[in-house]
Every structure is written in C-alpha cells, then in structure tokens.
Amino acid sequence: MAEHESLEFGKADFVLLDNVSMEEFMANLKLRFEKGKIYTYIGEVVVSVNPYRAMNIYGRDTVEQYKGRELYERPPHLFAIADAAYKAMKRRNKDTCIVISGESGAGKTEASKYIMQYIAAITNPNQRAEVERVKNMLLKSNCVLEAFGNAKTNRNDNSSRFGKYMDINFDFKGDPIGGHISNYLLEKVQCCMFCLVHQLLRGAPDSLLRSLHIQKDPTVYNYIKVGGQIKSCINDGADFKAVADAMKVIGFTGDEIQTAYKILATILHLGNMTFGVDGDVTLIETPKLVSVIRELLSTKEENVEKALLYRTVATGRDVIEKQHTEQEASYGRDALAKAMYERLFCWIVGRINDIIEVKNYDNNRLGCDTIFHRYKTRPQIFYLHIKYFTSVAIFAVLSFCINYCNEKLQQLFIQLVLKQEQEEYQREGIPWKHIDYFNNQIIVDLVEQQHKGIISVLDEACMNVGKVTDEVFLQGLNGKLAKHAHYTSRKLSPTDKSLEFDRDFRIRHYAGDVVYSVVGFIDKNKDTLFQDFKRLLYNSANPVLKGMWPEGKLSITEVTKRPLTAATLFKNSMISLVENLASKEPYYVRCIKPNDVKSPLLFEQERCRHQVEYLGLLENVRVRRAGFAYRQTYPRFLQRYKMISEFTWPNHDLPSDKDAVKRLLQGCGFDHDVAYGKTKVFIRTPRTLFSLEEQRAEMVQRIVLFLQKVWRGTIARMRYRRMRAALVILQAYRRYKVKSYIREVNRRFKNVRSMKDYGRHVKWPTPPKVLPFEETYTFLFLFTSRWWAWTLIKGLTPEETLQVRAKVASLEALKGQRADLGLQRAWEGNYLVSSWGESVGGGTRLTLYTRKDKYMRVLFSCNVRKINRFHKAEDRAVLITDRHLYKMDPLKQYKPMKSTPLYNVTGVSVSPGKDQLVVFHTKDSRDLVVCLQGMVPANESRIGELVGTLLSHFKR
C-alpha cells in the first residue's frame, strides 16, 4: 500500500477499491488526475496519466525519497518501479524488464526518459569517469533515437513511431557499463513526419540548407504536405543543436552526421520528383532533382535516372532492362524513400550499439575476481517501449502488426501475473482461487499459427506465381478461418453491412473488434525494393552510405533466397521478444492519454475508459484481487502496525513474528479476514487494511508526541553534556595555563636565594589571558616583594629593624605628600645627644629623665623653633620618649619647660612644603607648633623621621 497519501486523493492502489468495477475504477482515476496525482498502482503495475504540464516531481530530492525504498513506502511514482527493478537486478542477480505501453501521446517516451534519469542518478556514488561516460551516452542515445524515430503529428509533437527494446548492462557493483538497443516496426511510411526532418528544415543553419539544396518552408515538400499542416510548440532550432551535440557525444563522426542529413534531404527531394509519359516512354518531369540527388548520394546522374525509370531483370543467363510505367516508377520512388529512411534508422541504432555495447569485458579491470565470477552473466535491466492497440486499420499491415504485438504482450502480461499469483500462493501455502479471464492465446494463434494463421495465409498469397491480388488473400482467409470464433468477413456474415464484400475482415481482439481492409496487404507485406536501388546506393562514393546497403554487391544474375515478408519478420521478432521477456522479472507502466486537446484539466471519461479496457487494467485488478487485496512479510507488517497492540509495541516477546502478527490481528478482531502464509500475512478485503491504517494514524500522533518529549529531553541532556564538557575543558585549560605560568615563574625565580639582589633583576613573564594581568602581577609582585623584604629584614639588628619599620610607616603616611622623607639616610633619632655634651652633663641629664619618667628609650629629639600664640618665635628643644613629650629650653641647659604624656598626643600635622613645620595635637587642645632644625642636607628633612618613628611606636 502506498503511504503518505490521504483518501482525499482517492485510492493510491486500485487493488484497494471497495468494489472492483469499471465505474469505481474510472472515478478513482479521474479523482487522482484532478488532484494532480498522475500515478496509481495496481499492485506492482504503475498506471500513468499524461498531465500535459510540467510537474516538479522528478528532481534530486524526489530521487532520494525513492532510493532504496519499497513500493508501498512512498506514493506511486515511476521512480518506485525503476528502483524495484534495479534492486531486483542488483540484490537477487535477476534480469528485469520494464514494459511501457500506451496510446500515442500517452507519455510513454517521457516515462522512459524519467526511468533512465533515475537509474543514472542512483548509480555511481564515486563519480567514476567511465561509468559517467556510459550513463551519459545512454541518455544521449534517447535524444538521437527520438529525433530519428519519433514523428510530429497534429496530436503529438513527439509521437514515437517505432518500438524500442533497450537493455542496460551493469557490473557487480550495480554501475552501468554498457547497453544494447533493439527497434521494432519503424513506421517508415511516415518518414517525412519524423522530428529530425522538421528540426533540419527549421533549425539548421542556412549554409547547411544550401549545401543540401533544401528550403526552410516544410510546405514545399510533398511528403510533408501529405500529413497536413502541423502546429508545433517546440523550439526546432534548439532541438536540432541538441541532437547534433548528442550525436557527437555518442561518437558519430562529422562525415556520418553529414551523411544522415544528406539522406534526409534526398528523401525530401524524392517526394517532389514527378513522372510523366511521352507515348510509351516514362520520363522524369523534374530533371533538376536528379542532379541534386546525384550530388547528395555521391553517385552518377545517369545511374540515378536509370534506377528510377528501369528495372533490371535476369532470366537465366540473359539480362534485360524493363522500363517502369508511371505507376511503377512512383511506387519505386516511394519505396526507395522509405527504405533509405529505414536503413538510416537501423544504421543509427547499430552505430549506437557499437559504441555502448560492452566489448572485451575484463573482470580484473574493475578490481573484482571472486565476487564477479559468481554471476553467470552481467545483470541487466530492459526497457520495452511498445505501441498502443489501434482499432482503426489505416495502415493495413502496420496496424495489424501493432495489434498483434499487443495481443502477444497482453497474453504474456496475464500469464505472468497469474503465474506470479499462483507461485506466491503455492509458496506460502495459501489455497488458490480460480480466476476467469479472457485468454487471448486463441487470438495469438489466429494470427501466428503455422499454415492456418493470418500471417501464414498472407505469406502464401505473396509467394504464389502470377498476379496475386488482395482479394485472393481475403479468399484464402475465408477458406481457412471460416469456423474461427474470432474471425469474420462479409462473405461469412452476409447481413453485416459494416463490412464490405471482397475488402474487409474483422478480428475480435481482447480489447474489442477491429475491421481491417485487405487493400495494400500484399504490397505492404512484400515491401519490395528493386535490386537496382540497392546497387545504386552500394556503388556510392560515400563509404557510410555504401555500408548501409551491403546486398547491393550481389551480381544481377546471382540467385538469392527469397527474403522474408514484413509480417513474418515482425512475427519472428515478437516471438523472440516474448520468449526473452518471459525469462525476466517484469514490471509494467501503463500510460493513459486523458484527452485529445492536450489540456491539463480535461479528463474525457469515455476515451479513458476505452484505454483502460484496451490495456486490460480492470482485468489486472481482478486478477490481483482474486485472492487477497494486500500481502506483506511478517517483519514489515509488524514494523508498520505493531504500535496498535500492546503485545507487539514496542517489541514482542512471542516465539516468532508470525505469532506476533496473529496476536495483533486477533486483538483487532480481523482474524476472520486474513490468512497466514509461511512468510507473509494476506488480507482479503481493503476495509480491514483501511481500519488498520486508521488505528495506526491515531497511534502515530500519540507516538509522535511521546517521541517529541523524549527527543526534546535527549536534546536538552545532550546540550547540557556539551556545555558541561565545554566547561570542564575550559576549566582544565585555565588550570593548565595557570600552572604553566606558575611553573614559568618558578623556573625564573628558582635560584633567587643565591643571588646578590635576591632576584630583583629577574623579568616577570606575561600572565596568560585567563588571569587578570593587573591582579595577578600585583599579587605575585607583592608576594615576592614581601619575601624579598622579609629576606632582607631578617638579618637586621633590633635597632635596624625599628628604623626600617619607622621608614615604612613614614612612607605609607607621607608618600606623595612630601618629596624629602630622608629614607636614603640613617635615622639617628636622638639628635640632642651631640648638643648636650659633657659640659651640660648630657649623660647625667638622660639618667635623670630615666629615673623620673621611667621611659625605656628616646624616640626622637631635636632643636626646634617654637611659635607661640602671639606668633613669636623662640629657640626650644623637643624630646620624645616612649612615655612623654618634653619641651625644653636649650639656653637653660635643656631644662624641661613642659611635659605632656604621650597618650595625650592625639595627632601630628606636618606641612607639605619644604619647611619642617610640625603641629602636635593634644587632648586639651593646647597644640605645640614647632619648626624642626638640624644640620641636615638641604634636600632632606627630619619630618619623615619624626612621623615614621611616632607611627611605628603607636602601631606597636
């Protein structure tokens, strides 16, 4: 069953119709056509309706949708059939064939193109040059064959006028490596309606037309005017260039292409050649054309004229020349034109085959020994492009042969379908129900049976000595087929006025009754071409043209075997074709033409109904539906419907898939409408299948929601794990960079203890970006500086330690406030010692202060200038111990004038200038303002020493 199409588009498979009737079949076909669904299945048969518009369903994305899929997994499409044939060929090593049939204009040619394009698209994944070359030539060969074998008609711009059988050879990997093309029943009577003739007239450059002596106007040529004025919407100029380019790609030489053009021009000129009579002599009324034809055929002018007007006949050893009558000359001219076109077409097919056929195939060249040798032959896919059944006998033998071909293929179709059904049921152990169907073997025998068939009677009439007429042939038919149920004529049915006496006979074909007129049967069957024309063309100076007529080298008196008639040749080819197809695994494409006006909107019910009858589509549905409407292997059935049952979802624990399918169908209540084979389940009616589909559709929605939930959770967890992993990586990287930096710092400062300056000259490395530069540098620099300072300080004496601390305190307090802190000199602290001396009993004075104040040490002493509240300056001295602040009079042997406990001093203020003004603040607000004095360098002062000493003391 085709998936992904709702019932609004109708049934995607005609087998699933509720009632198998012509009315329901046509209603479903019309509905799908109106909805834009041009493909529908009948089991494994594709019914294609010509849409008469471009459809975007053949692109690369569509190819990917059908590649490797089963038929039922996607909506009906040509690509599905092509893929099924390709898989059967590749996986099972079976030769397969695709039979494309239908009326002229039904889309057979386009269908074959799309199938070829699909095969070309899905092969060669490695883009190897050799395989690409083969595929390109196979595709280009289609273009050339259509140009020479398709005709422009009022009903179709690209109407196929020959049957085509193409086989494509593949290697063991499934890549195309070559092919072969066979053609059947070219309608050479319409040789000047073929596409390339119109392309040549309308699209060729003027220089080429002048060299061929032809004009652009098609109405100038009689052979073209016979078909009436043809309206075309095709760009002949572009098509002409495309065909010329395709021939070059395939491998045609420039001389070969020019020869093809010359033959076409010769045929056009032959059509304009007329004959007249002067007494008993037949004359050519257009002698200029003889000269033109002579030039085009590269032969002698007298030989051309002689071949057109005379016939050489050998009677024993004597050779005589018999002049044609006007009627015989016209017949010979037309026969020559048709024969030239037929030989040209067959030569083109042969040249293409010479190029694309696999020659000197070397297994080792593809790098394969043991794998390839297990194939007996190279797998192949065959495309059979055949004509449609015609019910009007316009072209006598041609129409008869076409209908005979359809009878043979319809018989093969029914046999293969029934055979497949029977074999499948027997293989699966399912009882087979007999099917009544029209067995058209009786009609095939009516046509081809030895000694009794129509072709045998026709050949006998053609071989009779003397004048044989079409009426004699009809009499022979009436004599041998008088009692045949499917044959009648006016003589056998005198009351049937639809038949003419001595002219018509009727055959009851499988698709309906067809009346044939015997007029022209004898001549068309003999298809006589005088030997003079063959010798004329064989003696051409053009080697290409000469090669097309090898029998022209025979001597006039040489006795040859009677050639087979046209009907016998076609019969033999059909028998060979059917035998070949019977050995293949067949796939079918049935093409239907919806209307005669090429409208994409019009669906002519009655016309389509006749085509359905002629193609036997309804009969095919009945055959397919005789037993069961649907069948599928147990694993695939479970894969599609297992969500319906709790016993099979998500997986079952039953002994086998067959038991699981039984449990599923029993739970749904459909056990009465199914049968269980060895490997497949068979469903009898479509309603059961539709019910399963409805239940599946309901469950799919719930499963989708569940899957969305699970998937979203999975995505969130995946995102979290990625983020966490990224974070771990980032952290590890940061740690690595930090450790690397620290190791580098450690390496540079490893031996600083033994250095004289303890590493002060070592340059710091630049920290990584993961570390803030300022913070890292400051932290490590301070850390190192502290260590360096500690290393220096630990060797100092206690007095030196006190001085260092005082300097540090001064620097912290006054840095940036004063320029001269005196940090570079030693701080004496007690500057009055030298001033007291022995004369004033300095030592005795200090001892006195020590007993009185009980201080431990002198923090600072110095001579100062005191400024009182009246702004009067006086010389004084300041002594600061660890207990008191003394103001002394140096003129009275440093007698204390005022003593202030050190704990009453609340602060010290200094000026930012170069002066040494100091203010001691006290709790009683009786501040002491002094200006320090001393024998110190001009650029230094004692302010820093005083402030640092006091701060250091108070911090302790």
SS3 386: coil
Tell me, what's the pLDDT at 717? 95
Locate 327 and state its tokens: 């009627």
What is the number of other CB atoms lying within 10 angstroms of the CB of residue 678?
10
**Any bridge partners for residue 895, and if so which?**
889
What is the chain's mean pLDDT, rounded?
78
Tell me, what's the pLDDT at 365? 36
Instruction: Give the tens place of pLDDT for each residue, 203-258.
Output: 788 888 888 888 888 888 887 776 545 455 456 677 788 888 888 887 888 888 88
| Distance (Å, whole) CA 574 – CA 387 | 13
With a CB cutoff of 8 Å and minimum separation 6, the contacts of 272 are 220, 221, 222, 286, 289
- Per the annotation, binding residues for ATP are 102-109
Residues 532-547, mean pLDDT to the nearest whole number: 86
Q: What is the CATH number of domain 396-528+563-572?
A: 1.20.58.530
Instruction: Give the tens place of pLDDT for each residue, 756-798.
Output: 787 778 888 888 887 776 777 677 778 778 888 788 777 778 8
Answer whether residue 651 shows pLDDT above 80: yes
Which of 318-322, 523-527, 657-661 is predicted least confidently? 523-527
Locate 94 and state its tokens: 């079976």
CB 642 within 8 A of CB 695: no
Answer whether residue 848 shows pLDDT above 50: yes
The proportion of the chain whose per-residue pLDDT surpasses 70, expressed as a percent, equals 82
First to last CA, the chain: 99
Instruction: Give the tens place of pLDDT for each residue, 249-301.
Output: 878 888 888 888 888 888 888 888 888 888 888 888 888 888 888 888 888 88
Residues 418-444, mean pLDDT to the nearest whole number: 74
**Which of 190, 197, 337, 333 lies closest to 274 in space, CA to CA?**
333
Tell me, what's the pLDDT at 5? 67
Q: What is the CATH number of domain 846-953?
A: 2.30.29.30
With a CB cutoff of 8 Å and minimum separation 6, the contacts of 382 are 95, 96, 97, 98, 165, 166, 167, 168, 580, 581, 584
Which of 73-82, 142-151, 821-830 is predicted least confidently? 142-151
Instruction: Give the tens place of pLDDT for each residue, 894-914.
Output: 888 888 898 899 989 988 877
Residues 528-556, mean pLDDT to the nearest whole number: 83
> What is the CATH topology of the domain spanning 630-716?
Alpha-Beta Plaits (3.30.70)
Inter-CA distances, 653 with 636, 638, 644, 647, 670, Å: 17, 13, 16, 8, 21
In our burial notation (b when 16+ CB lie closer than 10 A, e otherwise), range 189-213 reads bbbbbbbbbbbbbbbbeeebbebbb
Instruction: Give the tens place of pLDDT for each residue, 90-140.
Output: 777 778 888 888 877 788 878 888 888 888 788 766 545 555 666 677 667
Answer whether residue 378 shows pLDDT above 50: no
Phi and psi of 351, rounded to 5°? -65, -40
Instruction: Give the tens place of pLDDT for each residue, 701-721.
Output: 888 899 899 999 999 999 999
Per-domain residue ranges for the chain?
123-360+376-383+529-562, 396-528+563-572, 630-716, 846-953
Q: How confident is the model at residue 435 (pLDDT cuts 50, 70, 90)?
A: low
| Distance (Å, whole) CA 83 – CA 97 | 12
Instruction: Give the tens place of pLDDT for each residue, 37-64.
Output: 999 988 778 999 999 988 888 888 998 8
Tell me, what's the pLDDT at 189? 53
> What is the CATH topology of the domain spanning 123-360+376-383+529-562?
Four Helix Bundle (Hemerythrin (Met), subunit A) (1.20.120)
Q: How many CA atoms lie within 13 A of 287 on its CB side?
A: 3
Which of 645-649, 685-689, 731-735, 922-926 is predicted least confidently? 685-689
Strand order in the sheet with 630-633: 630-633, 680-683, 674-676
Locate 431 and state its tokens: 């009882």
- Per the annotation, binding residues are 102-109
Between the ranges 154-168, 851-865, 927-941, where is the mean pLDDT highest? 851-865
Tell me, what's the pLDDT at 561? 64
**Which of 306, 295, 310 lies closest to 261 in space, CA to CA?**
295
**pTM summary value:** 0.61
Tell me, what's the pLDDT at 226? 61
Instruction: Give the tens place of pLDDT for each residue, 3-33.
Output: 456 778 888 888 888 788 889 999 999 999 9
